[in-house]
Structure 1
Amino acid sequence: MPAIAHVNGEFQMMSNTSATALTHQGLSAPTRRTVDALTRTLHAFMALSFVGAYITAESEIFRLVHVSLGYTLGGLLVARLIWGLLGPRHARLSALWGKLRGLGDWWHGLRTGRASWRQMQNLYMAVSVVAVLLAIAPVVLSGYVTYQEWTGEWMEDVHEFFGNFMLMAVLAHVLAVVVLSLLRRRNLATPMFTGRVEGVGPDLIPSNHWTLAALLLAAVLSFWVWQWQASPQVPAEGGASWLHPAPGRAQSQDDDDD
């Protein structure tokens, strides 16, 4: 299907290949919106929260950061599930489920020697996304129980297991994006940054939902500020520390002093 682009003051007809060539020449090429701002903001905060929480998992100094990012990740999961029910078509959980339903047909095709390579790519991407989403709840819940010291040390092992499982799921998802980008010769990560892809036709997402994205941003930042202000300031060797002790840990120290 030809595209219409504005080149040198004139509107000209062009193919998708020509549109890509225009981009390399620094000229304006047609694009269309495929991912709304709220979905992109959710995706960015979920990635940031997990990476930050994983990096600070073994640090006593940054315990408050680890706990706050864990809570944030749990809240973002709830928001993503709600958006998956009420959001636009591309963000719906039903769209993800629609891709997964093709697993049976692909497996049957594999057994009969007629498996679809394109379908396998889409299935791998969908499975990696589902694995990441399914890992969040047990990671957050086991972390909360560990932080509250409601159980023995075995819960720490459970939390570590699910944390590593989620890391594997995230890496599998990133690998899927990289490999499929190379195979299809286009950057599949771009829509999660810009919300748009090169191509002709109308926007697939009529509304960008900037207001909802701004509200989410404000909510997350406000929660982080509140966590910081609510954390007790406890002295540490060599100066002050903003380490946020576990609720049971402070009591345990008092008992030890007695």
Structure 2
Amino acid sequence: MAQNTTISSTDLLIRFLHIIIILSFTGAYLTGDAEEWHQVHMAFGYTLGISLILRILWQFFAPRLAHTQPSGVNRRFYVIKPFVQRYWTQPQQWLSPTFLKAASSSLFQLSILGVFCLLPLTVLAGFLTDYTQSHSLKEVHELFANLFLASVLLHLAALTLNSVLLKKWLAKRMFWGTESHSWFTLFTLVLSLGVLVAFWLWYFS
């Protein structure tokens, strides 16, 4: 009998891109208002864009070639929808432990959707601002960046609450794990690292 070889939703490349996105957004946000750091700010922004493209490509290729199944939009809504349907009309349960666990999980998934919706808008607005030098576009870029930050803060708050309620550090699996990885995952990780390093070398050459 054939067995399902899909073994994980959080593989080595997902962890790598997760760390790159964290570092890139932090760097971009901290250098956003410093004119002398403008080139570095743009490099971080482009790195965010490249990381998003790599993440989208991995969503497509991973199940077919790496035997992993990264979480997609449908899986996020699979968590959020039942929560809304169950508790929207039951406010008397809003302070129960079960509600808090479901709410923190749903907000966590919602924050991820927010991050991936706002990330391309933030990067695109930043590119157009740099290209046109438009003050209006700069304000739009700053708005998206602040909304992105709000999604990140919601992400951290929901993660912390869920970890406390479940008495388990849920962030651990996004930074390391003990599962094995296919050769294709390792190859794609090295390729992705090469793409990012090559971009930085080219950008500052």
Q: TM-score, normalised by structure 1?
A: 0.66
Cα distance in 2, alignment partners of residues 179 and 228 from structure 1: 41
* Alignment pair present for 1:157 and 2:139: yes
* Alignment pair present for 1:72 and 2:52: no
Cα distance in 1, alignment partners of residues 55 and 8 from structure 2: 20
Q: What amino acid is aligned across from residue 142 of structure 1 in structure 2? A: A
Counterpart selection for 2:162 from 177, 180, 184: 180
- Name the counterpart of 1:219: 195
Cα distance in 2, alignment partners of residues 64 and 211 from structure 1: 30
Structure 1, gaps ≥5 residues long? 1-31, 197-202, 230-258
Cα distance in 1, alignment partners of residues 110 and 24 from structure 2: 21
Cα distance in 2, alignment partners of residues 165 and 138 from structure 1: 10
- Name the counterpart of 1:23: none
Shift of 1:109: 5.2
Is the 1:86–1:92 contact (alpha carbons within 8 Å) kept by the matching residues of 2? no
Shift of 1:122: 1.6
Q: What amino acid is aligned across from residue 154 of structure 1 in structure 2? A: S
Q: What amino acid is aligned across from residue 203 of structure 2 in structure 1? A: Q
Is the 2:125–2:141 contact (alpha carbons within 8 Å) kept by the matching residues of 1? yes
In the alignment of these two chains, the number of paired residues is: 190
Report SS of the residue matched to 1:89: coil
Is the 1:85–1:92 contact (alpha carbons within 8 Å) kept by the matching residues of 2? no
Write the mapping of 1:123-134 to structure 2, written as runs, cut at 5 A: 123-134=106-117
- Name the counterpart of 2:16: 41
Q: Highest Rg: 1 or 2? A: 1
Q: TM-score, normalised by structure 2?
A: 0.82
Shift of 1:35: 2.1
Cα distance in 2, alignment partners of residues 74 and 171 from structure 1: 20
The superposition leaves residues 74-110 of structure 1 with CA deviations (integer Å, 9 ceiling, x where unpaired) of: 1211222222333332433332232233244234453
Cα RMSD, aligned residues only: 2.4
Is the 2:48–2:119 contact (alpha carbons within 8 Å) kept by the matching residues of 1? yes
| Alpha-carbon spacing, 1:101–1:78, altered in 2? closer, same or farther (3 Å) | farther
Structure with greater helix share of residues: 2
Q: What amino acid is aligned across from residue 170 of structure 1 in structure 2? A: V
Cα distance in 2, alignment partners of residues 110 and 78 from structure 1: 40
Structure 2, gaps ≥5 residues long? 1-6, 63-67
Q: What amino acid is aligned across from residue 118 of structure 2 in structure 1? A: A
- Name the counterpart of 1:51: 26
Structure with greater strand share of residues: 1
Is the 1:135–1:166 contact (alpha carbons within 8 Å) kept by the matching residues of 2? yes
* Alignment pair present for 1:192 and 2:174: yes
- Name the counterpart of 2:152: 170
* Alignment pair present for 1:93 and 2:73: yes
Percent sequence identity is 27
Is the 2:111–2:154 contact (alpha carbons within 8 Å) kept by the matching residues of 1? yes
* Alignment pair present for 1:210 and 2:186: yes
Is the 1:146–1:156 contact (alpha carbons within 8 Å) kept by the matching residues of 2? yes
Shift of 1:72: 1.1
Report SS of the residue matched to 2:168: coil
Shift of 1:62: 1.1
